[in-house]
Amino acid sequence: MTIKDLLEGLEVKEREGPLNISVSGIAYDSRSVDKGFLFVAVRGAVLDGHDFIKDALTKGAVAVITERPIAGLYESLPPFLMNSVSCVEVSDSRSALASVSARFYGEPSRRLSLVGITGTNGKTTTSFITRSILEAGGRKTGLIGTLRYITGRTVEAVRTTPESLDLQRYLKEMADNGMGYGVLEVSSHALELHRVDGCAFRVAAFTNFTQDHLDFHGSMEDYLSAKSRIFGYLAEDGYAVLNHDDPALREIEEGLGCNVITCGLLEGAAIRAGNIDDSAGISFDINTPRSAFRVTSRFSGRFNVYNILMAAAIAYALGVDDEAIKEGISAAEPVKGRFEKVDEGQPFNCIVDYAHTDDALRMLINEARNFTTGRIITVFGCGGDRDRSKRGLMGSAASELSDLVIVTSDNPRSEDPLSIIDDIMKGIKGKNYAVEPDRRAAINEAVSAAKAGDTVIVAGKGHEDYQEIKGVRHPFSDKEVLRDVLRKITGVK
């Protein structure tokens, strides 16, 4: 493929150099550049790819896309390169990266029936259930999300939504491996940073909207605006699937000019849940415009009714029959780190969950209260270098709803853990709390305080198997630490 082919449809401000150069690959990291590559200079949170353009050229790049004026860059090239390197100036190199990546890999999203799922909470669980339903209906389906990427091979996830170049490569892998469907978790960062540019969704789903990521977006209005961009990627005959019970999403629904399917528990939802029984797993009736049927799931927690219902609504939009929906929901296995119970024979409940917003923490604790005869003991912290405004809100949620709160460290990253804890403490109400910055010691303290009938909740990290401190990821799993502590008190080896 030539530079001319890749630039088709791209808004170019300035260009120098030949267009008929063949491109063998694309990179946004100069360390990945090989001979014949196109290098796209992208501004990151820490490093700026523009500072590595010469490194990329030295390694064999034959073309560069940049946001900086190319006059100085092109003139600075050695004479022998001026006739063999193409330099292209654009307004937004991230958007350009997505465009050229999609073209380079042959527009792979158009070879798939692609489902995009966004929302503050529930994306991962909804995506796994959706994939289970599609597979039950005989539709070979890939998945890209917070936990892993399944493309015909399984890769541990680096981020919820990969950079556009990597995403397009994974989508091509899905299509090349005979997958006709793909399920993609779409973060607000991905939408803001153009990672899903070049994608065409058959279904775009929005699970719910509550506060998070204000460190990045600045305001709730901007956060909602970023999330809502997902509907701009819908294919012409695509469907938007919305949680009807969320007021913010009802407002969005009114302004959409596409096919819309709503789901929820409240009157007015096109697909509704009723007669909910969560005494052992979850079972409930689903009423759709075409039929009514009952589903049973191994998932725990009433809040998972919404995730299951959202997956069913997505499947309905894709034309999946009722039997496959029922079978897929029944077959879906609980997701690692999401309301995950840890049992080593102790006389009290222990739960690990990814809840890292005040809304998610409230739902988690309220759900645990339904089956707890004793006290709720909640261990949690907040991540560093992230939305500081939610820390006090999480402190309020935990202290209002728990009998005992142990405030600890999460992933402090570059921040002082004690400073993060101070922010959390501003929201703590009452005296039912303790502070233990060492997360392992905090978990041990919670277990030591628990009695028969109590529930210990360890929230915030869920599936994560590390703790990030000063740029270094140290091995740490809430689930495994909890198991170790429980085994010591139960005598299990």
21-36 average pLDDT score: 96
- pLDDT of the residue at 217: 72
Nearest C-alpha neighbor of 300 from the set 232, 349, 249 = 349
- CB-based burial of residue 187 (10 Å sphere; 0-12 exposed, 13-18 middle, 19+ buried)? buried
Per-residue confidence at 489, pLDDT binned at 50, 70, 90?
A: confident
Residue pLDDT, tens place only, 192-223: 999 999 999 999 999 999 877 777 778 988 98
CB 328 within 8 A of CB 135: yes
- pLDDT of the residue at 491: 74
Per-residue confidence at 39, pLDDT binned at 50, 70, 90?
A: very high
Task: Return the structure tokens found at 122.
Answer: 């529930």
pTM, two decimal places: 0.92
Residue 448 CB coordination number (10 Å): 10
Mean pLDDT of the chain: 94
Whether pLDDT at 488 is above 70: yes
Residue pLDDT, tens place only, 279-309: 888 999 999 999 999 999 999 888 899 999 9
Residue pLDDT, tens place only, 144-182: 999 999 999 999 998 999 999 999 999 999 999 999 999
Higher pLDDT, 316 or 236: 316
Residue percentage of the chain with pLDDT more than 90: 85
- Alpha carbons 203 and 169: distance in angstroms, whole number: 20
Domains of the chain, each with CATH number or no CATH: 3-102 (3.40.1390.10), 107-331 (3.40.1190.10), 340-490 (3.90.190.20)
Q: What is the DSSP string of 27-71?
A: ESSGGG--TTEEEE--B-SS-BGGGGHHHHHHTT--EEEESS-HH
Nearest C-alpha neighbor of 425 from the set 408, 412, 410, 442 = 408
- pLDDT of the residue at 82: 62
| pLDDT-wise least confident of 45-54, 158-167, 393-402, 422-431 | 45-54
